Structure 1
Amino acid sequence: MNLNQITVPSLNLEKSIPFYQKLGLQLIVEALPHYARFECPEGDATFSIHQVEKLPTGDGVHVYFECSNLDEHVKALIEKGIEFEELPNDKNWKWREARLRDVDNNQIILFFGGVNRKNPPWRI
Structure 2
Amino acid sequence: MLSNGKCPKNILSIKDALEAVEGRWKLLILFSLSTGTKRFKELGREVSWITDKTLSRELKLLESNKLITRKVFDTFPPAVEYTITEHGKSLEKVIEELHYWGLAHRKEVLGK
Common fold: TM-score over 0.5: no
Q: Normalized per residue, which structure has more helix?
A: 2
Give the TM interval when normalised to the shorter protein: under 0.3
Please report the TM-score for the alignment, with normalisation by the length of structure 2: 0.28
Q: Normalized per residue, which structure has more strand?
A: 1
Bigger Rg, structure 1 or 2 = 2
